[in-house]
Every structure is written in structure tokens, then in C-alpha cells.
Amino acid sequence: MSSYDVVIIGAGPGGYNAAIRAGQLGLKVACVEGRETLGGTCLNVGCMPSKALLHASELYEAAAGGELSALGVEVTPSLNLAQMMKQKAASVEALTKGVEFLFRKNKVEWVKGWARIDGPGRVQVKLHEGGERLLETQNIVIASGSEPTPLPGVEIDNVRVLDSTGALSLPEVPRHLVVIGAGVIGLELGSVWRRLGSQVTVVEYLERICPGLDGETAKTLQRTLGKQGMSFKLGTKVTGAKTGKSSVTLTLEPAAGGASETLEADYVLVAIGRRPYTKGLGLESVGLSTDKRGMLGNDKHQSGVPDVWVIGDVTSGPMLAHKAEDEAVACIERIAGHAAEVNYGVIPGVIYTRPEVASVGKGEEELKAEGRAYKVGKFPFTANSRAKINHETDGFVKILADANTDQILGVHMIGPSVGELIGEYCVAMEFSASAEDIALTCHPHPTRSEAGRQAAMGVHGWTMQA
């Protein structure tokens, strides 16, 4: 039996960052991972492979769709899907190996196998190499992540009916891909396959896409994706799926009730959300249980049972890699006896479609519901010189600031590379900046970041360039 200060279950962005920080702070740490490689959902079948395909398919479409030729670059592209998948796999492998390197560098022991909590301070591991190993530890950090939420009546086989993992590795370009769920996964992976030549239909239960996103931003995204050829069936539920050898027939109904219809596809992607993953964790051995949604609760990362901590997708909050990372750091600092806090009001979200969507803080609907008086400054990318010169003028930056104090309450952007711009507003909000602070800060010209400055000027009615 080996003894540790911390044993971490799961090596996703929650688990691996917790392990690294624990190593840095001189704690004796082991990280148990059931997958063959480190990095969790994010590196293996999530953020990273999806971004690899988004990048490659964006370049393909720029060449195939006439964008390059409009710039005077004549090429006749042909799609080599096998190579596209190969470069994705190579990048993923390099990244997971990078985490292995960081584990070695920070003296984190990687225990390869599936972990089960076996009473206070005990973690039993079913080792990949065979046999079991008991780890004795002062603290247990549960970072076991999440899995796709299944849809009753639409069984995922990852042949014709796919979850996100299946949709990241298709052997061919679908003729017609039906995506169930107009959330982040559906729109990102739907974009990948549409760019590569699929007809894409997105079926969404609600009357809008991306619930949770600022309404005006979501509407603009839907309109822009629609112009690109993605079609949407909103307010619609899927009641069943019949899978044949090379096609799937879906039965749809209006969400509010009414006549049913059928929709044929050769592939279906089910992307209706993710749920916490706690299978086989042995929670009962320490008296822990999940809520109705399968989620483990936490209070400042503590599970409610002494010395058992929870971080990342398995607990409350947005299911995002950087949120898991923030919690990882704060959790380990607390274990080490330091003060630490996660500011849940400043966790940005990015949708990596084209145009990108990036937001942080509150949306207009949320502020209205709170009865908070706010001012809006908005600037369109059609008036931003860099966007104009690059022919990427879809979208805007919108800044919401408190009507009395001018403090920035939310920033919502849709446009070129806005995922790279949102960090500025996270820093600003952490420092309780006002819209005027942004308006009076020099931004480089010509960049898209100037759109944010002009939007901030707009909060006080003096936008200069539109």
C-alpha cells in the first residue's frame, strides 16, 4: 500500500491541472486515469480534436468555397479526409504526451487504471496491467468528468447514430447529417461537416439556439450559420429513430405537440448535453451521493465528506475545461492550507464556429430578470477596419455596463477571432473595470480589438467610428 497527500481520480483538465499544482506545492500526489492516455475528454475526444477539425475544415472551405479565389489565390482543393483525421490524431497524441511530460516534471505519479473509493482515505485501483492496487491518502479529489447525455428512443451506436466522439472520427462525409441539439457541440461539429460538404439540419427542442447565450448574440449566430447553409428546426422534438444499414429515419414532433413527420439522414449526431460521470466510483463507501441529475455537489470544492473534494464537469457550473482548471488550482491551494477562490461570475464561454462567439458575465435577459439598470454599447464588425480588410464583417461586440457605476457586467461578441479577444474583458471584470476604462485604453490599430473599444465608447454615447 502506498500513502499520498492527494489522490486524484481522473486526468482531464480538472484532474491533470490539480495533479500538476499539487506537485508544484510539494504534495505527494498520484493521479489515477482509466483511459489509456492523459488529458480526459478535452484532449482526447473534446476541445482539442474538435478544434483540429474546425481549423482544417475552415481552411478547406475557404479554398473550396471561393473565399481564397476572391483574394486572388487560385487553388483547386480536394478533400483528403484520412489525412485530416491523421493530423488531428497526431496533434492529440502530442498534447496527451505533453501532459505525461508535465506529470514527470512535477513528480506526479500516474496510476493507470480505474479507481474506486473504498472508504475514507482509501482508493482501490483496478490496474490496466492486471490486478489491483490500494492507495492510501489524506485527500481524494474526484475529477471524473462527464459523458454524453443519451436521448431515449435514439440509441447511439457510433456507426450511424453518433455522440460527439463518433462525430469526430467519421470515415466519410455525410450526405445529410442531422444534429439533435443546437448547443455548442451541435453547432461546432455541424459546422465541420457542413464545410466538408454535408447538408446539415439541426433539430432543437427549444425555440432558440444556445440557451444560456445572450439572446441577440444567439439570433445573430443562427442567422449567420443559416446563411452558410445550415438549416434549423426549432421547437421540435425527436421521438424515435429507426436505423438501417446506411440511413436513419427520425420521427419528429413539434415540442408543443402536433402532427409528427419523418426526417431521413445518413448520420445523426446526438448532442443534447453532457451528464456527470460517477460510475463505479464507490461514492457510497464514504457516504456520498449524487443529486437527481447525477451531479456531486460542492461547497468551495469540498464534497460534504471530510477530505473528499470535487472539481470539473462532475460538479456544478459550466462544463468547460478552463472552469475545471480554475477549480483544480483553487481546490489544491485549499488542500495545501492556502486561501483560494474561483470567481464564477467571470468564466468566459467561446463557441468556435465561424464567426466565433465569445461571452463573459451576464446577458441582457439575465440583467432584465434581475431588474438591474444597465447601458449597452455595441459596435459592428462591418465598421472595424481589420475585419473589413479581411472580408470578415459578420457580427458585433456588445458591452453591458451598470447604468449607475459603469462597471462592466457582461460582454458578448460574435465575429472573427473573438475567442481571442474575450480574455481582455475577463481581466477587466476581475479588476471591476468600467466601460470607460476600456474606452480610454489605447488598443492597437488595425485590430479587431478596436471593435471592443468602440463598443465601450458606445456605452457613453460617443462611439467614433460608426
* Nine-digit cell string for 331: 481546490
- Would you count residue 399 as binding ligand NAD (CB under 6 A)? no
Q: Give residues 322-381 in contact with ligand FAD (rule: CB under 6 A).
A: 322, 324
Q: Which of 114, 352, 379, 396 binds ligand NAD (CB under 6 A)?
A: 352
CB 220 within 8 A of CB 395: yes
- Residues with a catalytic annotation lie at 445
Q: Give residues 128-187 in contact with ligand FAD (rule: CB under 6 A).
A: 143-146, 164, 185
Partner interacting with residue 322 (select from ligand NAD, ligand FAD, none; CB below 5-8 Å by kind)? ligand FAD
Site string for ligand NAD, 139-158 (x = CB under 6 A): ------------x-------
- Would you count residue 46 as binding ligand FAD (CB under 6 A)? yes
Nearest to 204 by CA among 229, 224, 185: 185
Work out whether strand 146-148 and strand 274-276 pair parallel, antiparallel, or are unpaired: antiparallel
Site string for ligand NAD, 196-225 (x = CB under 6 A): -------xxxx----x--------------
Partner interacting with residue 324 (select from ligand FAD, ligand NAD, none; CB below 5-8 Å by kind)? ligand FAD
Q: How far apart are CA 97 and CA 337, in angstroms?
A: 31
CB 212 within 8 A of CB 125: no
For residue 33, what are the β-bridge partners? 112
CA distance from start to end of the chain? 68
DSSP state of 407: B
Q: Give residues 287-326 in contact with ligand NAD (rule: CB under 6 A).
A: 318-320
Q: Which of 194, 233, 237, 378 binds ligand NAD (CB under 6 A)?
A: 237
Q: How far apart are CA 53 and CA 48, in angstroms?
A: 9
Spell out a b/e string for 226-258, using b for 16 or more CB atoms within 10 Å of the CB, else e: eeeebebbbebbbeebebeeeebebbbeeeeee
Instruction: Please report which helix (H) or strand (E) contains residue 347, including its range.
Output: none
Secondary-structure breakdown of the chain: helix, strand, coil percentages, each rounded to the nearest 5: 35, 25, 40
Partner interacting with residue 205 (select from ligand FAD, ligand NAD, none; CB below 5-8 Å by kind)? ligand NAD
Which region, judged by CB under 6 A, interacts with ligand FAD, from 26-34, 212-220, 222-230, 423-431?
26-34
Q: Which is nearer to ligand NAD, 39 or 186 (CB)?
A: 186
Grid cell 447601458 — which residue?
Answer: 375
Partner interacting with residue 145 (select from ligand NAD, ligand FAD, none; CB below 5-8 Å by kind)? ligand FAD
Q: Which of 29, 319, 330, 409 binds ligand FAD (CB under 6 A)?
A: 319
Q: How far apart are CA 242 and CA 283, in angstroms?
A: 37
The contact set with ligand FAD (CB under 6 A) reads: 9-15, 32-35, 40-42, 46-47, 50, 114-115, 143-146, 164, 185, 277, 280-281, 312-313, 319-322, 324
The contact set with ligand NAD (CB under 6 A) reads: 151, 180-186, 188, 203-206, 211, 237-238, 271-274, 318-320, 350-352
